[in-house]
Amino acid sequence: MNINENYTKLEESYLFSTVAKKVSEFAEKNPDKKIIKLGIGDVTLPLCSVVVDALHKAVDEMGVQATFRGYGPEQGYDFLREAVKNYYKTHNVELDMDEIFISDGAKSDLGNILDLFAGDNTVLVPDPVYPVYVDTNVMAGRKVIFANANQDNEFLPLPDESQKADIIYICSPNNPTGAVYNKEQLKKWVDYAKSMNAIILFDAAYECFISDDSLPKSIFEIEGAKDCAIEFCSLSKTAGFTGTRCGYTVVPKALGKLNKFWLRRQTTKFNGVPYIVQRGAAAVFSEEGQKEIKENINYYKENARVISDTLTKCGIWHVGGKHSPYIWLKCPNNMTSWDFFDYLLENIQVVGTPGAGFGKNGEGYFRLTSFGSKENTQEAMQRFEMLFGTK
Ligand code: MLT
């Protein structure tokens, strides 16, 4: 038996597991200290009421012979795919039902999609970015190259014709920097991908945070994207489904074999998202659901404003937080990301995510999330002001 030695090329633990371990060690040694977690992008507001009602109703259906359901369609029930299709229409994207695949979240599908691609493809990943893109390709032994994101390009790298790539990851609004591509910039990526016969894997997990109608929420708003892109989305951040688990992936039929292969992959390796969860997810797309989730998103956006205002007062350089739940800041006094992490934990017990965990260009930066409660966010920012003073 030979094991997959590619795993030895990974960091010993996943970024957010390392952060969680450090925090729990600190908590054990300092039981009297109140730790405020603005690290992992996990939501704190409960599911909205229409979703809860739909979940209850579905549970009841499952307890009655006439409405009980066993295995469902692996690609998702029609009622939810129809709701997703109609949601896309609101940003002028027409999809066919068999281009939409319901999943248990974007993270799983972003990893699973790699089943469709040969091992010798070169993968282009922005740096810094969500660590799952690099890790899942390292696990498969693929060559990974990077598109540098930095302050000079406002953390929005554009294609470099001299780089040859087969698989290209784009995350917009970006995790961790909060930067958002406009339509012209995304068109450049689409043209580049087509010129290379490459595929774009577009992570739209934070699209609901975009509040400027001119910014694209889906790569399929860009002409030609259906010929070269797969899109991943999730209800985790949109509707508080981090624990409930539901998302969707769009594989256009224009991609030829890939659409059929994905169906083949899913029907073989996946038994679908639970009926109960899909009913809850469908409620998110109802009129009332959309109204309720917007209130939650605005709550998080207000937290982002509080964080941003405090950082400004403290003279700390930062971006993000406008079309994204993440604020990306430069560590004061040229501290490294992990030094700053320890410094905040030791001194004010505020937890964030070290930028270095998102790639080498993240070194010296730090991410705060606006997904905390209003009270905790305000308290964390009062502690920031105490530590850094007002400039
Ligand atoms: C993050 O904090 O970057 C996200 O919560 C991670 C995820 O969505 O898996």
Pocket test for ligand 1, best of 42, 43, 175, 326 (most atoms within 8 A of CB): 175
Which atom of ligand 1 has the smallest separation from the CA of 369? 2
Binding site membership of 175 for ligand 1 (Cβ less than 6 Å): yes
Pocket test for ligand 1, best of 16, 203, 208 (most atoms within 8 A of CB): 16
CA-proximal residue: ligand 1, atom 1 (nearest): 41
Q: Does the model's pTM come out above 0.85? A: yes
CA-proximal residue: ligand 1, atom 9 (nearest): 107
In this prediction, residue 390 carries a pLDDT of 73
Cα of 385 vs centre of ligand 1, distance in Å, is 27
In this prediction, residue 136 carries a pLDDT of 97
Greatest Cα pair distance, the chain, in angstroms, is 67
CA-proximal residue: ligand 1, atom 4 (nearest): 41
Binding site membership of 41 for ligand 1 (Cβ less than 6 Å): yes
Binding site membership of 367 for ligand 1 (Cβ less than 6 Å): no
Which atom of ligand 1 has the smallest separation from the CA of 176? 3
In this prediction, residue 14 carries a pLDDT of 87
DSSP secondary structure, 278-345, as one string: HHHHHHHTSHHHHHHHHHHHHHHHHHHHHHHHHHHHTT--EEE-SSSSEEEEEPGGG--HHHHHHHHH
Pocket test for ligand 1, best of 42, 104, 130 (most atoms within 8 A of CB): 130
What pLDDT, in 10s, does the model give residues 167-187?
999 999 999 999 999 999 999
Strands (E), 19-165: 36-37, 100-103, 122-127, 143-148
Nearest CA-CA partner of 82 in 290, 278, 292: 278
Which atom of ligand 1 has the smallest separation from the CA of 107? 9
Cα of 243 vs centre of ligand 1, distance in Å, is 12
In this prediction, residue 391 carries a pLDDT of 66
Instruction: Quote the CA–CA distance of 311 and 192 in Å, as a whole number.
Output: 37
Cα of 206 vs centre of ligand 1, distance in Å, is 10
CA-proximal residue: ligand 1, atom 5 (nearest): 41
pLDDT in tens, the chain (391 residues): 999 999 999 987 888 999 999 999 999 999 999 999 999 999 999 999 999 999 999 999 999 999 999 999 999 999 999 999 999 999 999 999 999 999 999 999 999 999 999 999 999 999 999 999 999 999 999 999 999 999 999 999 999 999 999 999 999 999 999 999 999 999 999 999 999 999 999 999 999 999 999 999 999 999 999 999 999 999 999 999 999 999 999 999 999 999 999 999 999 999 999 999 999 999 999 999 999 999 999 999 999 999 999 999 999 999 999 999 999 999 999 999 999 999 999 999 999 999 999 999 999 999 999 999 999 999 999 999 999 987 6
254 CB neighbour count, 10 Å cutoff: 14
Nearest CA-CA partner of 126 in 185, 197, 47: 185
**Domains of the chain in sequence order:** 5-47+289-388 (3.90.1150.10), 49-286 (3.40.640.10)
Which atom of ligand 1 has the smallest separation from the CA of 42? 5
